[in-house]
Amino acid sequence: MGSDDEKWVRQTQEGSRRAFDSLVLKYVERIFRLLYDITGNYEDAQDLTQEAFLRAFLNIQQYRGDAKFSTWLYRIAYNLGIDFKRKGRRMPRAGGDFHEQKTTLDRFVSISDQEYTGESEALEAALQRLTSSQRLAVVLYYYHGFRMREIGEILGCSEGTARVHLFRALRRLRKELRDYSSKV
């Protein structure tokens, strides 16, 4: 845990809300991006980001410093995002037109196949086609700077499993993006 994080967490546990504000300012962008990668939707990611920080604030006394604060916070956000996704996917089964009730992520993927032509859009589409564990292993490593052990902690699996997710994700991404490049 960074020394600033350590200080701010301790101050928050002692009752300083302003110290937690510093943690919010430091991590809000990263947590939002993580949740965007889980949900694939800007608005959902925003709502869940607020919820994640609120939960962290309410449970800050339970944080004992066994893991880095960032790992603990990411774990809260990851669980929220995955829970949201699960609930979202259950909705179509309740009845009605399945196609109309598709999740935002499904729509994003289906649109990307037809309309996204740029390389960055192709990358987004390829990322969304990965399983959520593979996608998160990639984004947590590349964009959030976590080590494989920490990624395992966030995803709730062993370091070895997290490595397998990353290994497969990289191979699949490279294949899809190469296919895209050859088509263009």
Query: Is residue 76 close enough to count as binding another protein by CB under 8 A?
Result: no
Structure tokens given for 29: 């962008």
The interface region with another protein, picked from 68-76, 79-87, 96-104, 169-177 by CB under 8 A, is 169-177
Query: Is residue 60 close enough to count as binding another protein by CB under 8 A?
Result: no
The interface region with another protein, picked from 43-51, 78-86, 90-98, 99-107 by CB under 8 A, is 43-51
Nearer to another protein, 43 or 92 (CB): 43
Residues that bind another protein (CB under 8 A): 17, 20-21, 24-25, 28-29, 32-33, 36, 42, 45-46, 49-50, 53-54, 57-58, 119-120, 123-124, 126-127, 138, 141-143, 148, 163, 166-167, 170-171, 173-175, 177-178
